[in-house]
Amino acid sequence: MDSEKFPAVETGVNSAGAVYGRPAALPVSSDDPAQQEIIAGLSAPQAAVAPKYFYDARGSRLFEMITALPEYYPTRTEREIFAAHAADIAAVAGTGATLIDLGAGNCAKAASLFPTLQPLQYVAVDISTDFLRRALERLRPAFPGIEMRAVGADIYPAPQLPDTVRRSRRLFFYPGSSIGNFTPDEALRFLTNLRVQCDETSGLLIGVDLIKPEAVLKPAYDDAFGVTAAFNLNLLRNLNRIIGSDFAAHDWRHRAFFNARQSRVEMHLEARHALRVVWPGARGETIHTENSYKYRLDAFTALLRQAGFSRARVWADAQQWFAVCHAAA
């Protein structure tokens, strides 16, 4: 890629330790939507990158490691909910559906429900295409009776599904706390778009992270082993690949904190010192890399109704840290 399109930007640290930037005025042109999105985010007053760009092959493997950490409660808590309520979930959601796994990753969560949900078709959708295909290659021999398809795609603002995906009996599956990566307005748009792709026989099975003490939240996003930090910093490596920038991970540090006013955990990358990076239009004190909104159950079920879903059924753990919701179309 032509580095002349990406002017050098000088950044520094003020007396309070905040990073400042001097944006370049040179225009950047690209026909690639991903490049355009990243460049626009980096050029914003608060530089930001969408969390989907965490997930190159290495980022996907690092996230797998995060889900096994003792501090990271969402995965194990959701797993406990599925194990305790699998029969109830199958009774409400039905069997023999087309299970559409959004942000499927290694497909393990969906596979854990195969024995009870018994889908006729499994459609795994993820932006990390190679990682997804390898996951399905490992999964197919264990479940030969299920038709499986991999769809490499961004799921926002709506997953683009091929014609080979059945139109009826769709069960959209969006586990984990990924709905929290969207702002409330984005979440409403996303859920509304899913509803449009449902008929009267379809539904949604979704995980949602609930509000809890900051002492529980903080280590979940800044673990003692530094795996989450490595995951966040790997984003820079992926940006270098996509837009031809020259970020160096050792120049940056991982930051995570709970924003109580917005009810969300935020992750940022903060420059360690004054530095010079070849990237398109940088400015701001940090690069904002992720939000993870936490919901009250009544607020989330209201959001489902606003998106056009109905008859929400909720299963939660004893501590009310996490919930799994089914909603009918």
pTM listed for this prediction: 0.87
- The set of residues, in sequence order, having a beta carbon less than 8 Å from that of 241 and lying 6+ positions away, is 56
pLDDT at 32 (0 to 100): 86
The helix or strand, by DSSP H or E, that contains position 298, with its residue range, turns out to be helix 297-306
Beta bridge partners of 21: 11
- The set of residues, in sequence order, having a beta carbon less than 8 Å from that of 289 and lying 6+ positions away, is 48, 49, 51, 54, 232, 235, 267, 268, 269
Phi, psi at 178, each rounded to 5°: -65, -30
**Closest C-alpha to 68, from 122, 14, 108, 110:** 108
Extract the tokens encoding 318. Answer: 């004893």
Residue pLDDT, tens place only, 279-321 = 544 444 589 999 999 999 999 999 999 999 999 999 999 999 9
In total, the chain counts a number of residues equal to 329
Q: Which domains, from first to last, does the chain contain?
A: 3-66+217-293 (no CATH), 71-212+295-328 (3.40.50.150)
- Residues in the chain with pLDDT values less than 50: 1-28, 280-284
pLDDT at 232 (0 to 100): 98
Q: In whole angstroms, how far apart are CA 225 and each of 2, 8, 54, 248, 257?
A: 38, 34, 19, 21, 17
